[in-house]
Structure 1
Amino acid sequence: MNCRLTDLRHKEVISSCDGARIGFVDDVIVDTKLACIVSFVIFGRSGFFGIFGRCEDYIIPWDKIELIGTDTIIISCKTPNPVKRRKKPHFFEKNRNN
């Protein structure tokens, strides 16, 4: 079965261990040397109207994916631990050393 990134974005990720609904695929990490997908990224839930930022992201390694179905992606691990987002320095933090 061939699948595009736009198709993956509409699939919900569910853990087969505890049945938790983790979210929808938002991004893919690709190894450019091997030309293969390394992991899926699921963005954390947004805060109040998106004003207060987002929760941490989930990164699902490719080896944890059991099945990619028509509507869902089943993973073989418990709900993964969120990964901290890389924060960009604010304008004043960039210029603090100058």
Structure 2
Amino acid sequence: MMYISEFQTKDVVNVSDGKKLGNIDDFDINVTNGKIQAIIINSHGKMLGFFGKDEEFVIPWRNIVKIGEDVILVRMNRQIEGLDE
């Protein structure tokens, strides 16, 4: 069993390009069956919280490749998913 707080400390990395996407901020949970449908990552583009913009990435659970001790590996095509930097 793993607690939500354990998920939030892991870095999320895209295996398609090796880039760190951020950390999990939230989950999309199906209230009918209680299963996680997606993870939500808030990529902080702000410097000291003032400049830039926050981007929110919603990554479907099916795109998670591996949950490791320190990292969560996901497979995302950045152009298709609208995750261009």
Under TM normalisation by the shorter chain, which class is it?
0.7 to 0.9
Q: Over the residues paired in the alignment, what is the CA RMSD in angstroms?
A: 1.7
Q: TM-score, normalised by structure 1?
A: 0.73
User: Match of 1:19, as an amino acid?
Assistant: G
Greater share of strand: 2
User: What is aligned with 1:81?
Assistant: 82
In the TM superposition, what is the alpha-carbon distance from 1:13 to its structure 2 partner?
Answer: 0.6
CA offset digits 1:44-65 (Å, max 9, x no partner):
3152322357422011100000
What letter is aligned with 1:63? R
Structure 2 gaps of 5+ residues are none
- SS in structure 1 opposite 2:12? strand
With normalisation by structure 2, the TM-score equals 0.82
Whole-angstrom CA distance in 2 between matches of 1:77 and 1:51: 28
The 3-state SS of whatever aligns with 2:21 is strand
Distance 1:46 1:17 in 2: 21
Residue identity over aligned pairs, in percent, reads 26
Matches within 5 A, 1:16-95: 16-52=15-51, 54-79=53-78, 80-82=81-83
1:17 CA displacement = 1.1
